[in-house]
Amino acid sequence: MPMSDPASSPTSSDKKIPWQQQGSTPDYRFSLANERTFLAWIRTALAFLAGAVAIDQFAPTLAPPAVRGGIAVFLSLAAALLAWMAYRRWADNEQAMRTGQALPYTRLLIIIASCVSAISVALALVILLL
């Protein structure tokens, strides 16, 4: 049986360590605060989704079906984007805490502000034009 060459075998430094196992475990209070923030963003995404359902199903006289559908689709897609970005933010913050780095800047705030502004303007126009 031939022996493998030690130079060709993978070493522990060649293996990618999952970020959850890198660095040191952060203080549980900070991890739990990070998790609460994640859950707050998930609640916001669920509110966007509930708004989409409400506009589509419970406001048939608000606007023509195409306009209502467009607003509902926009809100649904915004909810999906928010949920995904909330996870990315949670993971990035957790990784930064584990490795002792500064918390990364997030674009999530400008995205949510833009979505809320766009929906507000769209609904105001729909209401004014009725």
For residue range 9-62, what is the model confidence (pLDDT) as tens digits?
Answer: 455 555 777 877 888 888 999 999 999 999 999 999 999 999 999 999 998 888
91 domain-assigned: yes
Domain containing residue 49: 24-129
83 domain-assigned: yes
pLDDT computed for residue 129 by the predictor: 86
Kindly report each contact of residues 17-23 with a partner whose C-beta sits within 8 Å and lies 24 or more positions away, as own/partner: 19/91, 19/94, 19/95, 19/98, 20/94, 20/98, 22/95, 22/98, 22/99, 23/95, 23/98, 23/99, 23/100
19 domain-assigned: no
For residue range 34-47, what is the model confidence (pLDDT) as tens digits?
Answer: 999 999 999 999 99
51 domain-assigned: yes
Burial class from Cβ neighbours inside 10 Å (0-12, 13-18, 19+) for residue 36 reads: exposed
Task: Tell me the pLDDT of the chain averaged across its residues.
Answer: 87
Q: How many folded domains does the chain comprise?
A: 1
